Structure 1
Amino acid sequence: MHKLLARAFTLLMALAFAQTLAAAELGEDGLHKEEWFAMTFRDIAEDIAQAKGEGKRLAITFEQRGCIYCKEMHENILSDPEVRDYIRENFMVVQYNMFGDEEVTDLDGEALTEKTAARKWGYVFTPTIVFLPEEAPEGKTVAEAAVATMPGAFGKWTFLNMFRWVKEKGYEREEHFQQYHARIINELRAAGRLGDGE
């Protein structure tokens, strides 16, 4: 019995250690970094084409130093294997610093910095995740072209369901995201994956 308990304890400690290693680290800019986030030249049209070439969709995440909600997203949502694996498989995610100075090229060709892009596009919350179409439209800004925007921090299922809704092109159908999300939650509850309070 003691050997069984010792093995169980060792396994739990190994899993906890592995999860710690997988956690996002802080970069020099103070943002949490996921090793699977894409590093690009931040030319939005090129990034959309690259994502499509990889069979994915482009998502931009705006974050900032000291953002407790960004920390929560990285430590409790993106660390969840179900969430992380789905996003990695279906999306190319590029991280932007809401107050950063890296150069960005908007879809309309205007050269910006990360911070002037955030202002131009009207993004004021962190994290904000912006979902782009499969093809880069000409003459539009990112804000005009976005098929969906998720401002602020949400729980696992709202977060994951938004990515699923975009991947399934829910924005082209009659079922609004809130209806889609409610339906998925009801299906998860019926399958015993959620309690009544979730």
Structure 2
Amino acid sequence: MTRLTALLSATCLALPLWAAELGDDGLHKADWMRDTFKDLNEDLAEANAEGKRLVIMVEQRGCVYCAKMHKEVFSDPEVSDYIRENFFVVQMNLHGDTEVTDFDGEALSEKAAARKWGILFTPSILFLPKEVEEGQTAAESAVALMPGAFSKGTTIDMFTWVNEERYALDSEEDFQRYHARRIQERNNGSFD
């Protein structure tokens, strides 16, 4: 093998896997994202049937923070495996024209839905409850919103906090206290 062939082979092997995950819409794709008709009532029913929680992940083309999350956080097997096993993730484009049907029955483009829900940053992750009250929008129904890019620890803690339904009104541990406890536990080596 020539040195050039060896160099090219090593370079190709060293390229991050996430680099090939850009879709035609310019958004990063993960194997745990679902391609749906974006009818949120149908998506919620399907998520519930699978025993998973519905998540809406809003991203945009060229978003450096979205790229950072996909490269540094979502690519981590602990995070990706947890999301894959527990969540039904529907990706939406902040500036997209694909039709979305909100829980309240309104059909509108992705970009109009993002404005309606007050989404200003990408990535933004809306975590939905198992049941949505009739007439509510996705934003009104959300049990948590994660606006922006965060570290692996914060991300896995948020997904876990939601999955364990710690947002319930009778819970004595809000996310900040939960996250602080988990950081301390990680620092003490209490868990991975």
Q: Does TM, normalized by the shorter one, top 0.5?
A: yes
Aligned positions of 1:105-124 closer than 5 A: 105-124=101-120
Gaps of 5+ in 2: 1-8
Match of residue 26 from structure 1: 22
Match of residue 185 from structure 1: 183
Aligned positions of 1:125-164 closer than 5 A: 125-164=121-160
Q: Tell me which amino acid in the other structure corresponds to 2:100.
A: V
| CA deviation map 1:81-139 (0-9, x unaligned) | 00000010000111000000000001110111100000000001000000001113211
- Among 12, 17, 36, the alignment partner of 2:32 is 36
On the 8 A contact 2:18/2:71 being kept in 1, the answer is no
Match of residue 95 from structure 2: 99
Match of residue 165 from structure 1: 161
TM-score, with length taken from structure 1: 0.86
Matched, 1:70 2:66: yes
CA shift for structure 1 position 23:
5.6
Task: Kindly report the root-mean-square deviation, in angstroms, between the aligned alpha carbons of the 2 structures.
Answer: 2.1
Q: Tell me which amino acid in the other structure corresponds to 2:123.
A: P
On the 8 A contact 2:32/2:80 being kept in 1, the answer is no
Runs of 4+ deviating beyond 6 Å: none
Aligned residues: 181
| CA deviation map 1:34-65 (0-9, x unaligned) | 12210111111111110011110000100001
On the 8 A contact 1:23/1:74 being kept in 2, the answer is no
TM-score, with length taken from structure 2: 0.89
Give, in whole Å, the separation in 1 of the partners of 2:114 and 2:35.
18
User: How has the CA–CA distance of structure 1 residues 53 and 75 changed in structure 2, closer, same or farther, with 3 Å as cutoff?
Assistant: same
Match of residue 5 from structure 2: none
Give, in whole Å, the separation in 1 of the partners of 2:15 and 2:191.
22
User: How has the CA–CA distance of structure 1 residues 108 and 31 changed in structure 2, closer, same or farther, with 3 Å as cutoff?
Assistant: same
Give, in whole Å, the separation in 1 of the partners of 2:20 and 2:151.
18
Q: Which moved more, 1:34-43 or 1:71-80?
A: 34-43
Give, in whole Å, the separation in 2 of the partners of 1:19 and 1:180.
36
On the 8 A contact 1:24/1:75 being kept in 2, the answer is no
Q: Tell me which amino acid in the other structure corresponds to 2:161.
A: W
Give, in whole Å, the separation in 2 of the partners of 1:24 and 1:181.
32
Identical counterparts, % of pairs? 61
Give, in whole Å, the separation in 2 of the partners of 1:66 and 1:20.
17
Q: Which moved more, 1:114-123 or 1:21-30?
A: 21-30
- Among 41, 45, 56, the alignment partner of 1:45 is 41
User: How has the CA–CA distance of structure 1 residues 23 and 90 changed in structure 2, closer, same or farther, with 3 Å as cutoff?
Assistant: farther
Match of residue 83 from structure 2: 87
Q: Tell me which amino acid in the other structure corresponds to 1:62.
A: V
User: How has the CA–CA distance of structure 1 residues 66 and 21 changed in structure 2, closer, same or farther, with 3 Å as cutoff?
Assistant: closer
